[in-house]
Amino acid sequence: MVEKTVLVVFPSIYSLNKINSLETNIKKILKINNQHHGDLRKNESLIIIEADDPVLASSAVNLLFGIEKITIAKEVDSDFDTVLAAITNTTLSLLVKGEKFHIKIDGKTRNFLAKDLEITAMSSLIDKVSHLGAKPGSESDHDRQVYVYLTDTHAYVCIFVDKGLGGIPYNSQRSEILCCVYDELSAISCLQTIKMGFDVKILVCYRSEPDLLKLVKIVNKILPHMIEENQSIRICKIKGIANVFTRIITITQILTSIASKEKIGRVSLGISPMIFPASFCEHNANLVLQNKIIPWFALSGIDSEIFENAKKMGLEKYISSLDELCRNHPNNRKINTSETMKYVKDVLKTCKIITITVGSKNIHDIIDSLKSNH
């Protein structure tokens, strides 16, 4: 039985017509993270990677959007007896005394039925693991599940399965968009915009030195998902605006001004009608549209998956601030746009563009570059 240990990438359902973009992004992220690999190929809807270090390569690839799950698996020929032997050997190597086990088989092959293989594998294992006190479980009740995926040419018996971030591949929309990170909600909005496949450009608007450090730390969590080795970040300082609505409208006008200057056709607004009044969201959208730029609400609907993704990407310490924002009922007052234009002009004077090479010293590089530009 010839078997290889490979990395298997399962595209999200929304990426099935964007496999080439996902494949390109995988090659880029592996190169950026210095993960060497041999053959990288497609097998039906799957992307197969023969990585030198599957564990580290898996961690790198799982930074990408557009993936349902990623697995480290044994690749064997799609022959009934061969696959059965691989399932048996893999399960025996993973099982611990007293565990409930389950075999889940997806995909299909012209050679045999997946259900026949599943039944045979479970029956065979019951005898072989009796000395461990292990017993069969179910899909909803098990301690150990061995996942198998079948194609016409190969079967993939998975040793390790990790959930992906979903969405679609970065820059698969082939459109630039400008995002502003100024609090926790706007950071989640930026991540959602990346998840929607845009080529994201980041603006940071901070109010104080501690605020700058917090926002740079947040941006540091976002940068690895943008799969560009060199990133340019725009940074502006906002001061003297206590009212949250005035501050957001000012930021919307700053976004619009920068997007117009840099010929970026879209801006992502880090607000949601689930939290802010619909009239306020519409007002911000109209400010953008007046400049012939398309406004984008990445957070038009907020669900628990958004917060789960935020936790997975290391933003869990900021979730409490998001909870607090969602519980508040801010007082919306009518704001004269001309009132905010003075703020906009002052803020734009402080705007700096910093270019960094994405790596382990992003935070220091951004702060140091900002100081040297003053």
Least confident of 140-149, 239-248, 271-280, 365-374: 365-374
Using CA atoms, how far apart are residues 10 and 12, in angstroms rounded to an integer?
7
Residue 274, pLDDT score? 82
Residue 357's pLDDT is 86
Order across the sheet with 4-11: list the strands.
37-43, 46-51, 4-11, 67-77, 154-166, 144-150, 100-107, 135-136
For the cut 80, the answer to whether the pLDDT of residue 371 exceeds it is no
Among 83, 137, 129, residue whose Cα is nearest residue 107 = 83
pLDDT above 80 (res 374): no
Q: What is the mean pLDDT of residues 24-51?
A: 96
Query: Is the CB of residue 303 less than 8 Å from the CB of residue 166?
Result: no
Percent of the chain with pLDDT over 70: 90
Q: Is the pLDDT of residue 319 over 70?
A: no
Q: Is the pLDDT of residue 75 over 60?
A: yes
Give the residue from 88, 94, 83, 107 showing the smallest Cα distance to 1.
Answer: 83
pLDDT for the residue 349: 92
Q: How far apart are CA 198 and CA 202, in angstroms?
A: 12
Q: Of all residues in the chain, what percent carry a pLDDT higher than 90?
A: 69
* pLDDT greater than 70 at residue 372: no
Query: Please, what is the average pLDDT of the chain?
Result: 90
pLDDT at 326: 65
pLDDT band, residue 281 (cuts 50/70/90): very high
Q: Does domain 176-373 have CATH number 3.40.50.620?
A: yes
Helix axes 19-32, 54-61, angle to 10 degrees: 120
pLDDT at residue number 366: 87
- Domain extent listing, the chain: 4-166, 176-373
At residue 72, what is the residue type? I
Least confident of 133-137, 204-208, 250-254: 133-137
Is residue 300 very low, low, confident or very high in pLDDT (cuts 50, 70, 90)? confident
DSSP state, residue 148: E
Classify 4-166 by CATH class.
alpha beta
Residue 333 — pLDDT band, cuts 50, 70, 90?
low
Positive or negative: CA dihedral 363, 270, 313, 307: positive
Tell me which DSSP letter residue 231 carries: E
- The pLDDT score that the predictor gives to residue 313 is 64
pLDDT band at 331 (very low <50, low <70, confident <90, very high): low
pLDDT for res 369: 80
Q: In what order do the strands lie in the sheet with 266-268?
A: 294-296, 266-268, 176-181, 199-206, 230-237, 352-357
Rounded Cα distance, 317 and 95, in Å: 35
Q: Is the per-residue pLDDT at 373 higher than 80?
A: no
Q: How many Cβ atoms from other residues are within 10 Å of residue 79's Cβ?
A: 15
Residue bearing the bigger pLDDT, 20 or 184: 20
pLDDT at 276: 87
Q: Which pLDDT band holds residue 317 (cuts at 50, 70, 90)?
A: low
Whether pLDDT at 282 is above 90: yes
What's residue 87's pLDDT? 96
pLDDT of residue 327: 66
* Residue-wise pLDDT tens digits, 99-147: 999 999 999 999 999 999 999 999 999 988 888 888 989 989 999 999 9
Provide the whole-model pTM.
0.89
Provide DSSP, 170-225. Answer: TTTT--EEEEEESSHHHHHHHHHHHHTT-EEEEEEEESSHHHHHHHHHHHHHHGGG
